[in-house]
Amino acid sequence: MTDLRDLYQEVIIDHAKHPRNFRKPEGANRTAEGVNPLCGDQVTLYLEVADGTIRDIAFQGSGCAISTASASMMTELLKTKTLTEADRIAERFHELLTGAPDPSAEAPELGKLAVFAGVREFPVRVKCATLVWHSLRAALADDHRVVTTEE
Amino acid sequence: MSARPATAPGAGAPPPPALDVERLRADFPILARRVHGKPLVYLDNAATTQKPSAVIAALTRYYSEYNANIHRGVHLLSEEATHAYEEARTKAQRFVNAARREEIVFVRGATEGINLVAATFGRARVGAGDEIVISAYEHHSNIVPWQMLCDEKGARLRVIPMDDRGELVLEEYEKLLGPRTRLVAVSYVSNALGTVTPVARIVAAARRQGVPVLLDAAQAAPHLALDVQALGCDFLALSSHKMFGPTGVGILYGRAAQLEAMPPYQGGGDMILSVTFAKTQYNALPYKFEAGTPNIADVIAFGAAVDYLSAVGLDAVAAYEDALLRHGTAVLEAIPGVRLVGTAPAKAGVLSFLVDGIHPHDVGSILDREGVAVRTGHHCAQPVMERFGIPATVRASLAFYNTAAELDALGAGLRKANEVFGR
């Protein structure tokens, strides 16, 4: 049996209770909104992009611990990354949650976000973790449609 | 009227016989299941109820012994299937105490029943500038069909407000009724809050103005005895799967005079008397509203569910559940950080709540690992969430097979949630 601690690791609880970069940056020049119509979670992601690099990244919204921590930890990791790097990290994160399980596979570029591997054992919660990442992809593509987890 | 039976000692009426819950639980095979290594504590009955062996057996018996199409065959199997199907209609008639069996129309569920009224009564009787009155705690299924109708006709939706306890403000309701009101459509029991609507007053006020009333009884049916003649409503819709029957079946009760005056719903087989390319003559009630081969097996099994629930006895169910709801309320109130949403004095079957600092979705996942099944989210009642300024709640919803010990398990699960979140 999978332990609840695989889902609610301390770092996740910490970010859920004290989300980092929970604000609307002055210089944001790209925003993307994401909603999960099944549970009502809602997130708005703000990016300040210049010269192909993420100068600032922050978010606002309301959601569960998993979606809030995912957004918070994402903003910490992606600040100062290039758009290409951000895109690759988003792809790695998606694989971590939805790909075939491969314990030997390492994703060093994900850093602390590797703790979300535990969410894989809670299939109904995968969408909570990936919501903000769908929004990131929309922001990277400069796509202004509202992203939903049901597409 | 009140959902609460007289509980004061010496109040006059003899108390209903107590339920032998342990014996009744044995009728539900699924209740023996374990989930995540723990005994299943099923507290998601407002979403759907579990099924007793009698209902499961009725389905198996139909398919293994007399599966055939109805109303047309000359052979024995068809005769048996037709008889069982029509017998279910009579059972449903008795269950809601309709005056005539033709007043029972089989539909897919309460949602289709409401849509049927919107598509027939609504299309024929509602015009530009007319008004339909609903309440602030309706399920989406009793909002959206009326919104669609209003959009089509240029009519207006009026909403009875509710107070902070989740009770409708009846003074405001009476002000909403006017010469343009064509229908009042309200739920008997709120699925998100558990509030029991004072339907007697709702119906009485509407009838004084000659306005028909539709009751969405989907959440009331497993908890309270229904009597459409005493209620005086014109329409009542309910779903089989919320009252221990199979999914995919429900009934729409319609007062015969209303049903007669309404145009048909869908066109097809069974709803006609004769068809030529020049003209079609529609069938009599209730077949005018039952086009196509219906859900025969599930209708028959719904009849078995009606028999089962009637044998258990809704008066005994209401009394037992009332005590259970009080126990559950006390359990929740004793847990740090828990806040109940929906605190009306008359409630049935629902404990909706929030845990301070923990999102309902997370509470639901933690409870699941403890074997406790609850619903989290907006419960298809987003306007209710908006009214209380919250995105979602955790909802524990009861059936007569739940026990006080199961509500204690809910309490233990919530303490665990507080622990996981370091509270």
B146: amino acid identity, one letter = W
Residues 330-369, chain B: which have Cβ within 8 Å of A?
357-362, 365-366, 369
C-alpha B186/C-alpha B199 separation (Å) is 9
Report which of residues B259 and B278 the model is more confident about: B259
Residue of B nearest to A15 (CA): B421
Task: Give me the residues of chain A with pLDDT under 70, please.
Answer: 1-2, 101-106, 144, 149-151
Reply yes or no on whether B380 is catalytic: yes
State whether B421 and A66 contact (CB < 8 Å): no
Q: Please give the average per-residue pLDDT across B372-378, as a whole number.
A: 94
Which residue does chain A place closest to B377, by CA atoms?
A39
**Interface with A, mutate which of B362, B372, B385, B415 (most A CBs under 10 A):** B362
Q: What whole-number distance in Å separates Cα of residue B372 and Cα of residue B42?
A: 6
Class of domain B21-43+313-420: alpha beta
CB–CB of A136/A90 below 8 Å?
A: yes
How many C-alpha atoms does B301 have within 13 Å on its Cβ side?
A: 28
Choices 3.30.450.40, 3.50.50.60, 3.40.50.300, 3.90.1010.10: CATH for A4-141: 3.90.1010.10
Question: Which of A8, A11, A62 to probe by mutation at the B interface, max B CB count within 10 Å?
Answer: A8
Fold match between domain B21-43+313-420 and domain B55-311: no
Position B279 scores a pLDDT of: 87
Q: What is the average pLDDT across B313-342?
A: 97
Structural domain boundaries in chain B: 21-43+313-420, 55-311
Q: Is A22 on the interface with B (CB under 8 A)?
A: no
For chain A, domain boundaries: 4-141
User: Tens of pLDDT along B219-269?
Assistant: 999 999 999 999 999 999 999 999 999 999 999 999 999 999 999 999 988
Over residues B128-178, the pLDDT tens digits come to 999 999 999 999 999 999 999 999 999 999 999 999 999 999 999 999 999
Out of B184, B355, B380, B414, which one is annotated catalytic?
A: B380
Residue B22 to residue B39: CA distance in whole angstroms: 15
Residue of A15, A39, A66 to mutate, interface with B, max B Cβ within 10 Å: A39
CATH architecture of B55-311: 3-Layer(aba) Sandwich (3.40)
Instruction: Compute the average pLDDT of residues B53-59.
Output: 98
Strand partners, B274: B281
Cβ contact, residue pair A42, B360, below 8 Å: no
Q: Does A80 touch chain B (CB under 8 A)?
A: no
For residue B402, the one-letter residue type is N
In angstroms, what separates the C-alpha of A8 from chain B's closest C-alpha?
A: 7
Are B359 and A40 within 8 A, CB to CB? no
Compute CA A6 distance to the chain's CA centroid, rounded to the nearest angstrom: 18
Q: What percent of chain B has pLDDT over 90?
A: 88
- C-alpha to C-alpha distance for B206 and B131, rounded to whole angstroms: 13
Q: Does A38 contact B at CB distance below 8 Å? A: yes
Residue A40 forms contact with B (CB below 8 Å): yes
- Given an 8 Å threshold on Cβ–Cβ distance, is B361 in contact with A39? yes
B386 touches chain A (CB under 8 A): no
- B369–A41 C-beta distance less than 8 A: no
Query: Nearest CA to B48 among B379, B390, B340?
Result: B379
Q: Does the structure show a pLDDT above 60 at B364?
A: yes
Q: Which residues of B touch A65 (CB under 8 A)?
A: 358-359, 362, 421
What's residue B6's pLDDT? 40
pLDDT at B5 over 60: no
Tally: H helices and E strands in chain A:
5, 4
A127 close to B (CB below 8 A): no
DSSP H helical segments within A30-143, as ranges? 65-78, 83-98, 126-140
What pLDDT is recorded for position B8? 44
Neighbouring residues of B181: CB distance < 8 A, sequence distance ≥ 6:
B130, B131, B132, B133, B158, B206, B209, B211
Q: State how far the Cα of B69 lies from the Cα of B166, in Å rounded to an integer.
A: 46
- Cβ atoms of residues B329 and B305 within 8 Å: no
Q: Is B420's CB within 8 Å of A42's CB?
A: no
A99: contact with B, CB 8 A cutoff:
no
| Cross-chain CB nearest to B392 (options A5, A17, A40) | A40
